[in-house]
Structure 1
């Protein structure tokens, strides 16, 4: 059983800057309060095969999550999938970027969430919470990138 959430946001920064910021997954805690810590293997620039190791807190429960970059097409497309085993995982996720006429960037983020074992019972709740937060998540990404953190 799976479900998807997505959000689209316009960011007032050039597409190359937004791509670089998002491809560096170590920025995730700057816009995702659920990410408590994150690191990547191997060190250096993000590439296909890079794995981001994170500790997250969802509904008061800490879990360890590992996401592998499966596609990186600068400056328009980033894809990942979760390689860790949890009750609810991100089977696929990504960012689609396109330039706007005013020199900014339109970003679409999505995740396909999948339930495993007891997670099959949790997926409607996890998906509902993710869809409810999706617009705010997009705004947090916009704020982080535009704030000069990028």
Structure 2
């Protein structure tokens, strides 16, 4: 098994509840996530609203459809997604756990810690360095889009 793990942190100028709500709203990702610089094309929640522990979704990406679920849900401080890529026979090629830990830094400022863990299995292990590069690029695009979705400030 190959493992990729890293963390990014960004200040978002919005209340912690608003930041958590935006991250938990899977169907809303198309409104604030850019297409340029991202492999994600569309996200769709596949279980009933509202988002909660166990909520399922599918991301359409340049590499195909990727199912996932909310693995941890602790409003307003922690949200962990779990996605996987399996063969038609059910063998897992790769899976990831994009996690967000939010810290209120005042009424209108939130520090977003974005921890990423990705595992590659079988022949996909050889592609772990490529997965690492793609994950850093994708996750950086995500947190910067989240930050920008609440507006820019000159003190970032």
Identify the residue that residue 88 of structure 1 maps to in structure 2.
Answer: 94
- Cα 1:23–1:131, aligned 2, differ >3 Å: closer, same or farther? same
Deviations 1:72-107 (A, max 9, x none): 1111000121244263321x2211001113631011
After superposition, where does 1:1-150 map in structure 2 within 5 Å?
Answer: 1-29=2-30, 30-31=32-33, 33-57=38-62, 62-85=63-86, 87-90=93-96, 92-101=97-106, 103-131=108-136, 134-146=139-151
- In structure 1, stretches of 5+ residues that fail to align are none
| TM-score between both structures, scaled by the size of structure 1 | 0.82
Contact 1:8 1:135 in 2 (8 A): no
* 5+ long unaligned stretches in structure 2: 87-91
Shift of the 11–41 alpha-carbon distance from structure 1 to 2, 3 Å rule, reads same
- State TM-score, norm by structure 2: 0.79
Aligned length: 142
Partner of 2:54, secondary structure, is coil
